[in-house]
Amino acid sequence: MFYYRQLTYALLKDQFEINLEIPDGYLIPTVTSRYKYILWVHELLLQVAEYFDAKKSIIGLDVGTGASCIYPLLGSKLFGWHFRASDRCAKLALKNVTANKLENRISLVLVDEDDPPLLKLVDQANRYHFCVCNPPFFNSKEEQESTHLRQTKPLSDNPGKEHEAVTRGGELEFIEKLLQDSLTLKKTIIWYTSLVGKKRSFLSIVKRLKGLREVTTIKWTQFTQGKTTRWAVAWSFYAIYIDEERMQTAPTALPAKRFKSTSEENKEVLKTTQLLLSVASGHKEELLDDVRSIFKEYELKYNLESALLQLFKVEARTCTWSRRARRKKKRLSDFPSEPKGLPPSDFPIFIALFQILRGDDKSLARPLQVTLWITLLRGDFGKFVSFELHFARALEKFGKYKVLNYNVYGRSLTPIKSDLR
């Protein structure tokens, strides 16, 4: 036990510059599993990070932070997040906050066993980006002891205090209380998350979440460390577009370098595309209407910012141009009674500017050349590029326009292929 404690202290100091002191008998956190959970929450936040106010801090909640206060310490050190954390031993947790000089980022709330998990912790005048929770796994001390007897004695032999491992009804009832609080708070918190220690509990929770109409977004993952497997579940009352390619698998090793904050990671240079079109004579005045019709076809929210400059601001909240979405649309036309699925995302997939610049129009005998400048303001670059390609092909399908060139960052690419050529 002594060696495990010292190893934990050394890892936290070396990798995260965290000073930790845990009284005897209290749970010593496994660093790698806590790190993976925080990193997964970070990935969830990246799904909506472009739409946070960069001047405001990310604020999270930790339900049952423990004597170590490990999640707030990791989140603050890695990403600069602010936390409100609750626990029955909040005074012990405060010592670790003070030892790391993070009192300006982490505040603690003392709670009792019968208090609801979130309602006492949340100030409903504020909005929070996420909550984390590592609930007690066991229903009774006997269940905890029988589980340890069935397993090979671990190196740490680290059961912790009874209230850290045991709760009435076990983890399933605790997370159900968390879920009930979320049904009260709803959009007060963007992401509700919790760790789950047993597979049967995990399956029950996911099934329960899927049966709630108010919950519009559900995400889960699995963490494996040696022979130990844990699950994490996240849900939201916001409709959030999840980019599966962007949701990276949590790494199995500790970081070699310190992380940047979420706001720093998303300070990106504007991405601009130049689309050069040839417009057939006699159709020069129809381009603006055709562009609008494409926006409507793909269910984009758009606004003509300047009629003089022919400048549109466009928001995409559903990836309607994907092959999957087009197949879904066809099925709905064939079978109108089929469920329509989730509503559009509360956070745009991307926001972009479209500007039409006309070329020299003196000669009516030859086709007019028109340049479309498309600038990504914020959002998913991969989906933005995908839409640009579909947009160009949709223009060509009118039979009036021909794509002459397609440039991104001034780098000329092969002209887009078209069935009409």
Instruction: Mention every residue, 6+ apart, whose C-beta is less than 8 A from residue 284.
Output: 358, 361, 368
Task: Inform me whether the pLDDT recorded for 248 exceeds 70.
Answer: no
H helices, E strands: number in the chain? 12, 14
Digit-coded pLDDT (tens) for 290-302: 999 999 988 899 9
Q: What is the reported pLDDT for 30?
A: 87
Please report which helix (H) or strand (E) contains residue 411, including its range.
Answer: strand 411-413
Contacts for 286-289: CB closer than 8 Å, 24+ residues apart: 286/400, 287/356, 287/370, 287/401, 288/356
Q: What are phi and psi of 368, to 5 degrees?
A: -85, 140
Q: What is the DSSP letter of 265?
A: H
pLDDT band at 168 (very low <50, low <70, confident <90, very high): confident
Strand partners for 110: 87
Q: How far is CA 169 from the centre of its chain?
A: 30
Domains of the chain: 2-263 (3.40.50.150), 271-413 (3.30.310.220)
The larger pLDDT score, comparing residue 3 to residue 190, is at 190
The single-letter code of the amino acid at 186 is: K
pLDDT band at 344 (very low <50, low <70, confident <90, very high): low
Digit-coded pLDDT (tens) for 289-343: 899 999 998 889 998 888 777 888 999 888 888 777 667 666 655 545 444 444 5
Q: What gap in Å lies between CA 98 and CA 93, rounded to an integer?
A: 9
Looking at 144-158, 241-255, 400-414, which range is the least confident one? 144-158
Q: What is the reported pLDDT for 380?
A: 79
pLDDT band at 165 (very low <50, low <70, confident <90, very high): low
Give percent of the chain with pLDDT exceeding 70.
74
Mean pLDDT in residue range 63-75: 93
- The pTM of the whole model exceeds 0.85: no
Looking at 116-120, 135-139, 347-351, which range is the least confident one? 135-139
First-to-last C-alpha distance (Å) of the chain: 73
Q: Which two tokens mark 390?
A: 């579909």
Task: Inform me whether the pLDDT recorded for 421 exceeds 50.
Answer: no
- Are 31 and 9 spatial neighbours (Cβ–Cβ below 8 Å)? no
Burial 41-68 (b: 16+ CB within 10 A, else e): bbbbbbbbbbebeeeeebbbbbbbbbbb
The larger pLDDT score, comparing residue 25 to residue 205, is at 205
Q: What gap in Å lies between CA 87 and CA 141, rounded to an integer?
A: 20
Q: What is the reported pLDDT for 146?
A: 57
Average pLDDT, the chain: 79
Nearest alpha-carbon partner for 42 in 259, 202, 346, 298: 259
Q: What is the reported pLDDT for 55?
A: 64
Length, in residues, of the chain: 421
Taking CA atoms, 125 is separated from 29, 112, 121, 233, 311, in Å, by 32, 23, 12, 26, 38
The larger pLDDT score, comparing residue 380 to residue 342, is at 380
